[in-house]
Amino acid sequence: MIWLAWRQQRTETVIAALLLLLAAVVLVPTGLHMASVYDHDGIAACLAHPTDSCDQTLGLFTSRWDSLANLVAWFNLLPGLVGVLFAAPLVLEFEHGTHRLAWTQSVTRDRWLAIRVALIACATVLAMLVFTFAMTWWRAPLDRVGGRMQDGFDFEGIVPIAYGLFAASVVLAVGVVLRRTSAAVGLALVVYVALRIGIEGWARPHYRAPIHETTTGSRLPDLHGAWVITETRGLRLPHGSTIDPAVASSCANGKVIDRACLASHGIVEYATAVYHPASRFWLFQGMETAIFLGLALALGAFAVVWIRRRVS
């Protein structure tokens, strides 16, 4: 039964493998180049022993990969595409009515359904594990510089697995009702993109209340790896007096600020930040995974009940 189920979705499995291979074609050479530049530019030394000049070095390193990061951002669609591909063959059986032939053989309806659904879930999880490992390796230099709380959140950890399973469950739930594979696939992709955008933009920032912090001088907040929602930095005198622009400019050499010069004139730096610290990465991962897995289980249960009670 397992061998037969795999043969029925081998085309989709090959397509999913090709999508992962295409991602690898982009990630492997660019990841090796990024790691080489990271070592050549001494980024690790800057992170271990930060200085004023290191801020510019780290900024240049991060901005160097902006266009590449924008390209890789399209890989957000990959979990949805993979989940849809693995679930589509089962919907196709209901559309063509070939499920009736399987139900007349020695295998029971419940066993047939359990094996098919389990195979879809296992294939999706395996593909997403490969994807997550590849993205985590590729993003390693960027994560060391800027953290993974913000830009790497959707590609690392355990959420890609939940995304893929959610997309597969939407296809099953819609497909068993409509019995139209193309309609189920199209609606699933729309729902997947809409919910991903909605969760990221409106729900995720409120999983926990963000930290509001205003500090001055040497107590400036450590935002390394944090998801910064808003940040304001500036200079001021202790009693709120106006800073002489000439004095401020004399203590700045381009973008590098001479803090000793500022201190000699009684000027202090201040920062106001609203952020989620890097330590919340796994907490947020668990919360978002629970949301998408919960939806996937609910939709999957609906599909199973519908098949057992409504499909003949």
160 lies in the same domain as 257: no
240, pLDDT greater than 70: no
306 lies in the same domain as 196: yes
What distance in Å separates the CA atoms of residue 16 and residue 165, rounded to the nearest whole number? 14
Q: What is the pLDDT of residue 261?
A: 80
What distance in Å separates the CA atoms of residue 165 and residue 87, rounded to the nearest whole number? 9
User: Are the C-beta atoms of residues 204 and 291 closer than 8 Å to each other?
Assistant: no
183 lies in the same domain as 269: no
Higher pLDDT, residue 256 or 177: 177
**Residues in contact with 280: Cβ distance below 8 Å, sequence separation at least 6, in sequence order:** 149, 207, 208, 227
Tokens 């999706």, residue? 124
113 lies in the same domain as 67: yes
Three-state secondary-structure class, residue 277: coil
Can you tell me the mean pLDDT for 92-100? 82
77 lies in the same domain as 200: yes
List the one residue out of 150, 149, 275 whose CA is nearest residue 210. 275
147 lies in the same domain as 260: no
- Reduce the secondary structure of 11-38 to three states and give it as a string: HHHHHHHHHHHHHHHHHHHHHHHHHHHH
158 lies in the same domain as 198: yes
Taking only the tens place, the pLDDT of each residue in 13-55 is 899 999 999 999 999 999 999 999 999 999 999 998 887 778 8
Q: How confident is the model at residue 232 (pLDDT cuts 50, 70, 90)?
A: confident
In one-letter notation, the amino acid at residue 54 is C
User: Are the C-beta atoms of residues 43 and 141 closer than 8 Å to each other?
Assistant: yes
Q: Note down the domain range covering 218.
A: 211-276
Considering its fold, how many domains does the chain have in total? 2
Both tokens of residue 126? 């395996």
What distance in Å separates the CA atoms of residue 256 and residue 192, rounded to the nearest whole number? 45
**Residues in contact with 108: Cβ distance below 8 Å, sequence separation at least 6, in sequence order:** none
What does DSSP assign to residue 278? G
**Residues in contact with 61: Cβ distance below 8 Å, sequence separation at least 6, in sequence order:** 37, 38, 41, 43, 141, 145
223 lies in the same domain as 102: no
97 lies in the same domain as 177: yes
Taking only the tens place, the pLDDT of each residue in 253-293 is 655 677 778 777 777 777 889 999 999 999 999 999 999 99
Q: For residue 268, what is the enclosing H or E element?
A: strand 268-276
232 lies in the same domain as 295: no
240 lies in the same domain as 292: no
115 lies in the same domain as 215: no
